[in-house]
Structure 1
Amino acid sequence: MKTLKISAKIIGVCILLFALFVAYASISDYRPKSTELIFESESPDTIDVNKSLNLMIWNIGYCGLSDDMDFFYDGGKQVRTSKENVNENFKFINSTLHHNDSLDFILLQEVDLHSKRSYYINELDSFILTLPNFKSFFGKNYDVTFVPTPPTNPLGRVKSGLVSFTEFNPKSVTRFSFPGNYSWPVKLFMLDRCFLVKRFPTNNQKELIVINTHNSAYDDGSLKKQQMEYLKIFLTAEYEKGNYIIVGGDWNQNPPDIDYSDIKENSPTKRFVLNPINKDYLPDDWTWFYDSENPTNRYLNAPFEKGKTITPIIDFYLMSPNIFPEYIKTQDYNFQYSDHQPVISKVKLK
């Protein structure tokens, strides 16, 4: 009887501690506004429509998802790689940004500011020093004091987001929250997805809109569907004004004209479902711009093994009909330093 009472007390204490933890997580939960003006200028740079623009998109995997890594949430076992590997990944990514400082726009995803998974390196501050001629704009999409999973080795503190670099001074930069989220209490520990919109006047009295996006990964497609519908409304309204639109980033889904049904059916992970964007998402004169010869992402159910690991294309550009695609190339690093590869493009406004 005494043993039962002790056990009951222990269970009661555990339940109380868990309830207190969830209550704290609810109180401290990051609740971004639907729209947030990050930057505004009365003297923006004007984009010359007669000149080509060069861009890069890259999900850097917070410098923690090199080829040695699998990830527990994708069917793997690991939570984070060693500090030495993070430093090596960071050094390479930083160097790659430096060698691409002639680009007009660099759109990054999964840039950590203060996270256990990347050993609390402020990656953004370092990248700003590496790109002194660029203006940087940060859109936070992950801010959790303590992620409790997996219980034996919690992910812990995470503060991360999207970063857009440009040599041009924008008219404005706005963070737009994507609609939809996971159910409570799971949503307390997940990302608050968003896209970052930069506006620039053009010399023909229109606007160039450059969007950095990072769509949901761990859902059955329902969250991504909500996000895509919301984005579609935004894109359609801007194009009807005659504006030029470039969207780039990690979509966590494949372009409409790529068939990955075999991957979806034989996926080694249940949490990440690879869905295609609907072919009728936008009119045919919009351009899905990607390098069909090289993958941009690799699955994290196991460490990378060339020829065996699943490697789809989920990082790409979407451009309005008044933009002409000139060049596209995925930089193939065999996923040595990130689970994504950078995609460089050159485009021309019509």
Structure 2
Amino acid sequence: MLISTITNKMKFLGKIYLIVVSLISSACDPFQTEIGTEVSLYESLEKQEFAFPDTLKVMTWNIKFGGGRIDFFFDCHGDRVIMEKSEVLDNMSVLSEKIREVNPDILFIQEADVNAKRSAFVDQVQYLLDNTDFNYAAYASQWKAKYIPSDGIGKMDSGNAILSKWKFTDAKRTPLPLIQSQNFIVRYFYLKRNILEINLEHKGEEIKLLTTHLSAYAKDDTKKIQLKVLKTYVDSINLKGQTFILGGDFNSLPPFSKQTSNFDDSACTDGDFEADNYSSETEWMMPFYESYKAAIPLEEFKQNNSKHFSHTTDKNGYWNRKVDYLFTNGHFVQNSGNTLQQWMQVSDHAPIVVNYKL
């Protein structure tokens, strides 16, 4: 009986696979997963006037699509895929409260859903604009599909955003390399990573603001390649004599990380969502530290790793690795960088904040 059930399930999955292959092969983009250079621009419903300060407070935060610490299937601690609207709004309310408490001038966010079944189709970028002091935002999709026929995910539009108190110009999305080791069906539906860039101008001076979210589960050299592309990108800005601030979730450990494998929260064993073995990656971030200023300087991280850990999938009281960063070729105020580890129940990432001297 069990063998018969398994056989029937395999036959069913095989039929689904053939249907999906047939659809993709017969049409250019039947599930509308392709993402171009388009960037969505947002404004808050009620704008506020802010004087431009001498020092900007900059913050980056992976907000986990308003999911808080619900046990989702990709964490391998639970089997949830879809949230109720009330859950999303409750989590977004807490996120907004914490952001207002910090009161940043610029906010980089990753994993923001704007039109996704899993988050009850709440536009999280607009929600944050309308419930914080930000006036403007730019959003770039990195996971988009009319329908994803896997795990009940359904419609998806999720990506990165930059929120600002002041109007900006020239919003731009630059794609990053895809994971090449995936089969073409998975790659078709999978995340398309990117660099989101805007220009903020003040008194004739221009600051380029950039955010990104690099691959988490690549089993090949994709993440290394993405880091090289990102480094080359900001190097080109620097060579032109332009100023930038880069923030985001790099999914990579800094040099001098004491723990590089066997993280306690790595509960997955099916291969698809196993945490990376980071042991070979700790030097990939070094070029950023060598060329630019970090909100959390490398020497400070080296002295106390745990104080600057910014990620875990465990929600029982500890962070266990740093994967989130802020860099600039300008001027971070010395000793102003901080990893806010007190809000573990709000997201599986801790925000990083720093003051930037104009």
TM-score, normalized by the shorter chain, greater than 0.5:
yes
**Which among 71, 91, 94 is matched to residue 92 of structure 1?**
94
1:225-273 deviation digits (Å, cap 9, x = unpaired): 1111111111111111111121101111122343432446995445331
1:126 partner SS = helix
- Does the 8 A contact of 2:108 with 2:247 survive in 1? yes
Counterpart in the other structure of 1:288: 294
CA distance, structure 1, for counterparts of residue 265 and residue 275 of structure 2? 12
Contact 1:59 1:109 in 2 (8 A): yes
The answer for unaligned runs of 5 or more in structure 1 is: 1-7, 40-46
Aligned to 1:64: 67
Cα contact 2:83–2:118 (8 A) shared by 1: no
Q: Is the 8 A contact 1:55 1:106 kept in 2?
A: yes
Taking structure 1 as reference, are residues 82 and 328 closer, same or farther at Cα in structure 2, changes over 3 Å only? same
1:195 Cα shift? Answer: 1.4
Contact 1:144 1:159 in 2 (8 A): yes
> Aligned ranges for residues 118-129 of structure 1 at < 5 Å?
118-129=119-130
- The aligned amino acid for 2:193 is R
CA distance in 2, matches of 1:288, 1:258: 16
Paired with 1:169 and 1:175, the residues of 2 have a C-alpha distance of 18
**8 Å Cα contact 1:144-1:188 kept in structure 2:** no
Structure 1 residues 223 and 323, CA, compared in 2 at 3 Å: closer, same or farther? same
Q: State the partner residue of 1:110.
A: 111
Q: Deviation of residue 12 (structure 1)?
A: 8.1
Distance of 1:74 and 1:231 partners within structure 2: 27
Give the letter aligned to residue 306 of structure 1. Answer: G
Residue 267 to residue 77, structure 1, CA distance change in 2 (3 Å): closer
Residues 176, 196 of structure 1: 8 Å contact kept: yes
Deviation at 1:79, TM superposition (A): 2.5
The answer to which structure, 1 or 2, has the higher relative contact order (CA under 8 A, 6+ apart) is 1
CA distance 1:206–1:88, shift in 2 (3 Å) = closer
Identity of aligned residues (%): 20
| TM-superposition CA deviations, 1:167-196 (whole Å, max 9, x none) | 222231111111223431111221111111
Amino acid at match of 2:164: T
Of 173, 176, 180, 1:175 maps to 173
Q: Distance in 2 between matches of 1:214 and 1:346?
A: 22
User: One-letter code of the match for 1:219?
Assistant: A
Aligned residue for 1:341?
350
For residue 14 of structure 1, report the CA deviation from its aligned partner.
Answer: 6.8
CA 1:37–1:29: 2 relative to 1, 3 Å: closer
Unpaired stretches in structure 2, ≥5 consecutive residues: 1-6, 42-50, 302-306
Between the aligned partners of 2:337 and 2:126, the Cα distance in structure 1 is: 29
1:218 and 2:185 aligned: no
The alpha-carbon deviation at position 73 of structure 1 amounts to 2.5
Shift of residue 165, structure 1, vs aligned partner: 0.7
Shift of 1:336: 0.7
Residue 198 (str. 1) matches residue 206 (str. 2):
no
Task: Indicate if the aligned counterparts of 1:113 and 1:123 stay in contact, CA closer than 8 A.
Answer: yes
Residue 160 (structure 1) shift = 1.2
Q: 1:266 to 1:20 in 2, by over 3 A?
A: closer
Aligned-partner SS, 1:224? helix
Matched residues in 1 for 2:340 and 2:9: separation?
55
- Once residues 114 and 129 of structure 1 are traced to their aligned partners in structure 2, the CA distance between those partners, rounded to angstroms, is 17
**Counterpart check, 1:232 vs 2:231:** yes
Give the equivalent residue in structure 1 for 2:80: 79
- CA deviations on 1:302-350 (whole Å, 9 max, x unpaired) are x52225xx62111121222x3234311222234212111222211224x
Distance 2:285 2:164 in 1: 31
Question: Quick check: 1:319 aligned with 2:328?
Answer: yes
User: Who is 2:311 aligned against?
Assistant: 297
Aligned length: 321
Aligned-residue offset at 1:276: 2.5
The Cα shift of 1:212 comes to 1.1
Is the CA contact 1:38–1:172 (under 8 Å) kept in the aligned structure 2?
no
Secondary structure class of the residue paired with 2:321:
coil
Change (3 A) 1:12 1:313: closer
> Deviation of residue 211 (structure 1)?
0.6
Aligned-residue CA RMSD (Å): 3.2
Contact 2:34 2:144 in 1 (8 A): no
Pair 1:73–1:82, CA change in 2 (3 A): closer
Aligned-partner SS, 1:226: helix
Q: Is the contact between residue 107 and residue 248 of structure 1 (CA under 8 Å) also seen in structure 2?
A: yes
Question: Does structure 2 retain, via aligned residues, the 8 Å contact 1:36–1:176?
Answer: no
